[in-house]
């Protein structure tokens, strides 16, 4: 089918609001939260349900056109960044909560439902959806599923994979695979397990089934103020070693506090603190009282200057709104933000945070830290201006050095933001060519043409070649290597 006829067919399936081909409308889909890498999609398709998605994907398969699935585009690793000559299929018109079943504590939703909307809808049943990325006011549950997203309360509740029970899946050829019927002990291969965290490479999720969790009887929010960032980190390492179980443990450093306090997210964090620890403790009222007492003792031993406890639900919300608005607040420092995402072994939190700080200082970059300390999931946030190529180069170099430091010390490349385009080549820091070829085997089985999000997640070159470049990030000048038609990981 020639491109004009194909465009007409797609438009007839999706209607005028579901098919975008004008340059102005396509422009807002040219990147995700990793603004360094941009590409305008040939068309943007916004199906309203599974059937429309499948019909479009059949036509795109016949035409051999690559697809970048997309939710809200809040990803930070370039996962939803379009592919040159490809289309974006966006789920934001699939926004219906299809069912909440309070007896079985599950919800069935379309993939474009915004994370926070599910908890709001479940509240009247005394339930909530536990994974709470800080982007939860905007990101979609489909994006969370594809990235296996976590969040501040991941320390207690785990990431998305712990809460997903089923998915309606459209594969690369447009076939619908119904995995929505929750089974206590599914027979055969754990296909759902394979799809969670697959970063849009195996097809599109159009519907999802999630577990819901009872709202705890009591929640207490604590704010501990520290004279140094290192002391805050050490107290987290110690409280975990002692088996304490807050539901969330977040650290904000001085620069983050300053940015938040000068913004609309101002939460009342003390402006003179070097670092604060923000924690939730939940459970029965008795459990909470006991845990808070133990925590307060431990934090004092680690040199907390002051400890506060939210005295009302409003204050609690404000303290968390400050944390969740922190990235937005950093817009006050510079026009762009590079959010690194690495995992440090919890015993080495302070050491790796110090390395990140020193690396940025050495490269003359402004770096603020705000992170899920309980998970060891660090987010050094580097403010920069992407119009300055030298700054961009230094930002990427800093990102790479921080990743190297984590991996060398037994940590990991990514905690929750995925690999996408950003860390595709850094996979060589953790894996050999053989490891990567094995990781590519499921992809070759599920998407033999490799049209679903090609060029993402797995290096397109061998690791020896990747290591000759520094920083590794593909294409600071236009990422021409994103996808050049070569078989990805075809070494298997
Ligand atoms: C301010 C801010 C705070 C953040 N905080 C956190 C945090 O605390 N924890 C965390 O884990 N992440 C966080 N993130 C990252 C991001 O919000 C998550 O990765 C989120 O899950 C992305 O959802 P999205 O709908 O925006 O997906 P997108 O960015 O649109 O897509 C993300 C990936 O999923 C794929 N995808 C999207 N929808 C589908 C689908 N229906 N089927 C198949 N593949 C699909 C895309 O191809 C892409 O690879 C944050 C981001 C920002 C900007």
* Cα gap 148→144, rounded to integer Å: 5
Task: Tell me the pLDDT tens digit for each residue of 212-241.
Answer: 999 999 999 999 999 999 999 999 999 999
Closest-CA residue to 405 (of 361, 356, 365): 356
What are the sequence ranges of the domains in the chain?
Answer: 3-90, 97-214, 218-328, 333-408, 429-492
- Using the mean position of ligand 1's atoms as its centre, give its distance from the Cα of residue 123 in Å: 23
List of residues 6+ apart from 480 with CB closer than 8 A? none
**Phi and psi angles of residue 162, each rounded to the nearest 5 degrees, phi first:** -80, -10
Q: Decide: 353 in ligand 1 pocket, CB within 6 A.
A: no
Q: What is the DSSP letter of 18?
A: G
CATH fit for domain 97-214, picks 3.90.79.10, 3.30.465.10, 1.10.530.10, 3.40.30.10: 3.30.465.10
What one-character DSSP code corresponds to residue 82?
P
What is the Cα–Cα distance from 159 to 11, expressed in whole angstroms? Answer: 37
Prediction pTM value:
0.94
Q: How far apart are CA 63 and CA 55, in angstroms?
A: 13
Which tokens in the block code for residue 488? 């990805």
Contacts of 124 (CB under 8 A, 6+ apart): none
Is any atom of ligand 1 closer than 6 Å to the C-beta of 74?
Answer: yes
Supply the pLDDT for residue 436.
96
Would you say the CB of residue 411 lies under 6 angstroms from ligand 1?
no
pLDDT digits 0-9 by tens, 303-330? 999 999 999 999 999 999 999 999 999 9
33 lines ligand 1 (CB under 6 A): yes
Assign domain 333-408 to its CATH architecture: 2-Layer Sandwich (3.30)
Over residues 263-285, the pLDDT tens digits come to 999 999 999 899 999 999 999 99
Output the residue whose Cα is nearest ligand 1's atom 6.
133
Ligand 1 pocket member 205 (CB < 6 A): yes
* Rounded Cα distance, 4 and 269, in Å: 56
Secondary structure E strands in 284-346: 306-309, 336-339, 342-343
Does ligand 1 come within 6 angstroms of the Cβ of 197?
A: no
| 136 close to ligand 1 (CB < 6 Angstrom) | no
| Burial bucket for residue 17 (CB in 10 Å: 0-12, 13-18, 19+) | exposed
Q: Which two tokens stand for residue 355?
A: 């390395």
| Residues in the chain, pLDDT under 70 | 182-186, 470-492
Output the pLDDT for position 137: 95
**What's the CA-to-centroid distance between 138 and ligand 1, angstroms?**
9
Same fold, 218-328 and 333-408: yes
Residue 83 to residue 325: CA distance in whole angstroms: 30
**CATH architecture entry for 218-328:** 2-Layer Sandwich (3.30)
CATH T-level topology, domain 3-90:
3.30.43
- In 3D space, the residue among 478, 465, 328, 461 whose CA is nearest the CA of residue 392 turns out to be 478
Cα(73) to ligand 1 centroid in Å equals 6
Of 139, 176, 458, the one to substitute when testing ligand 1's pocket (max ligand atoms within 8 A of C-beta) is 139
């Amino acid at each position: 089918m020639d491109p004009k006829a194909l465009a007409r067919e797609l438009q007839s399936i999706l209607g005028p609001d579901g098919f975008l081909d004008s340059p102005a409308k396509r422009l807002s889909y040219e990147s995700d939260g990793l603004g360094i890498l941009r590409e305008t999609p040939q068309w943007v398709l916004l199906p309203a349900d599974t059937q429309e998605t499948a019909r479009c994907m059949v036509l795109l398969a016949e035409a051999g056109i690559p697809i970048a699935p997309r939710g809200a585009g809040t990803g930070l690793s370039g996962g939803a960044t379009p592919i040159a000559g490809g289309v974006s299929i966006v789920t934001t018109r699939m926004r219906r909560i299809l069912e909440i079943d309070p007896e079985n504590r599950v919800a069935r939703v379309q993939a474009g439902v915004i994370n926070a909307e599910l908890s709001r809808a479940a509240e009247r049943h005394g339930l909530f959806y536990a994974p709470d990325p800080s982007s939860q006011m905007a990101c979609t549950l489909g994006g969370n599923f594809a990235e296996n997203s976590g969040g501040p309360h991941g320390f207690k509740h785990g990431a998305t994979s712990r809460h997903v029970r089923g998915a309606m899946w459209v594969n690369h050829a447009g076939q619908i695979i119904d995995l929505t019927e929750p089974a206590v002990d599914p027979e055969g291969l754990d296909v759902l397990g394979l799809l969670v965290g697959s970063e849009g490479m195996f097809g599109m999720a159009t519907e999802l089934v999630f577990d819901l969790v009872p709202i705890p009887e009591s929640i207490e929010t604590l704010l501990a103020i520290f004279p140094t960032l290192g002391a805050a980190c050490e107290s987290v390492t110690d409280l975990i070693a002692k088996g304490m179980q807050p539901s969330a443990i977040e650290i904000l450093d001085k620069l983050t506090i300053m940015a938040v306090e000068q913004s609309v997210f101002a939460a009342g964090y003390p402006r003179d603190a070097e670092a604060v620890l923000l924690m939730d403790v939940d459970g029965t009222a008795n459990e909470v009282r006991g845990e808070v007492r133990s925590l307060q003792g431990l934090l004092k031993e680690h040199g907390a200057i002051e400890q506060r406890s939210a005295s009302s639900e409003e204050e609690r919300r404000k303290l968390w709104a400050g944390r969740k608005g922190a990235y937005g607040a950093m817009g006050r420092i510079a026009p762009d933000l590079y959010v690194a995402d690495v995992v440090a072994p919890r015993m080495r939190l302070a050491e790796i945070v110090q390395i990140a700080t020193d690396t940025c200082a050495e490269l003359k970059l402004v770096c603020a830290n705000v992170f899920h300390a309980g998970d060891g999931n660090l987010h050094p946030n580097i403010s920069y201006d992407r119009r300055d190529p030298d700054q961009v180069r230094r930002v990427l170099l800093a990102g790479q050095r921080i990743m190297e430091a984590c991996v060398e010390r037994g940590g990991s490349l990514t905690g929750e933001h995925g690999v996408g385009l950003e860390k595709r080549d850094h996979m060589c820091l953790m894996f050999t060519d053989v490891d990567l070829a094995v990781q590519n085997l499921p992809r070759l089985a599920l998407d033999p043409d490799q049209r679903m999000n090609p060029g993402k997640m797995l290096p397109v070159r061998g690791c020896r070649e990747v290591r000759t470049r520094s920083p590794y990030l593909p294409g600071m000048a236009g990422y021409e290597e994103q996808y050049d038609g070569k078989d990805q990981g075809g070494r298997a």
